[in-house]
Amino acid sequence: MRFETPLIPAVLIRRYKRFLADCRLQDGQEITAHCANPGSMMGLAEPGMTVWLEPNDDPKKKLKYGWRLVEHADGHFTGVDTSVPNRALRAALETGEIAELATYKTVRAEVKYGANSRIDFLLQQDGLPDCYVEVKSVTLSRQPGLAEFPDSVTARGTKHLGELANMVAQGHRAIMLYLVQRSDCRRFQLAADIDPAYADAFASAQAAGVERLVLGTRITPQGVEVAGPLAAG
């Protein structure tokens, strides 16, 4: 998935009200960017960080910049836009790039299921059980090379795990897919200390037959691409 508009670097001044971020452009101008991430963004919203913004000239948008990436001192990137995983994954699913799911030829997004929920992707193919795929964006890293989820308590995420387990009970296939939006991580685990209830719900869902798939990404200021599986513990 390529960004529609070339990104520009800036320095983060502050993130506030969850969806707003004040930044300083290279010419010294201070602007407010939209932050498409409702999570805690632990370790990714420190003043002085180098960030990458996507400009826009859409008259319908109040803010003319969107915050897309954090650049780390070692040259790695983290993608902070939570809408990117589904966009990147849809392209990869439709072209059969994800080996574990390549046998499914029909890809439907945002299909209603469960208790007033929508599944990120419903995959279908004649002769195969329907496959329900829930996607989570992973951006937390508290140890070098290790990505973790969640970065805050997520009652909604816990609910999704129960609904995936219900799909398995009905004879379908269900996958909890974690897309690691960090180029500096090669391993993944649940942050059970941050949300024990989510970790317990995942263990129950896995015991019920819900599959786990962890995929990495290749991230540059040009775009985000789905990469291969990462080790999960």
Q: All domains of the chain, ordered by start, with CATH?
A: 8-79 (2.40.50.580), 84-232 (3.40.1350.60)
Q: Which two tokens stand for residue 181?
A: 């939006």
Instruction: Identify whether 221 is preceded by a cis peptide bond (ω within 30 of 0).
Output: no
Give the mean pLDDT of 47-59.
Answer: 96
pLDDT over threshold 90, residue 92: yes
The residue ranking higher by pLDDT, 194 or 233, is 194
Residues 205-232: tens digit of each pLDDT: 999 999 999 999 999 999 999 999 999 9
Q: How would residue 147 be classed by pLDDT, with cut points 50, 70 and 90?
A: very high
Mean per-residue pLDDT over the chain, rounded: 96
Q: Which two tokens stand for residue 39?
A: 């999570």
pLDDT over threshold 90, residue 152: yes
pLDDT at 120: 97
Q: Are 171 and 131 in contact (CB under 8 A)?
A: no
Element (H, E) at 215: strand 211-220
Q: What is the DSSP letter of 101?
A: G
Q: What φ, ψ does residue 90 adopt, rounded to 5°?
A: -60, -45
Q: Does the reported pTM lie above 0.85?
A: yes
Separation of CA 208 from chain center: 24
pLDDT at 116: 84
Q: How far apart are CA 50 and CA 72, in angstroms?
A: 7
Q: Are 219 and 179 in contact (CB under 8 A)?
A: no
Give the mean pLDDT of 8-37.
Answer: 97
Q: How would residue 114 be classed by pLDDT, with cut points 50, 70 and 90?
A: confident
pLDDT over threshold 90, residue 35: yes
Q: How would residue 163 be classed by pLDDT, with cut points 50, 70 and 90?
A: very high
Q: How far apart are CA 153 and CA 99, in angstroms?
A: 31
CB under 8 Å to 77, separation ≥6 — which residues?
52, 69, 70, 71, 182, 183, 219, 220, 221
Q: How would residue 233 be classed by pLDDT, with cut points 50, 70 and 90?
A: confident
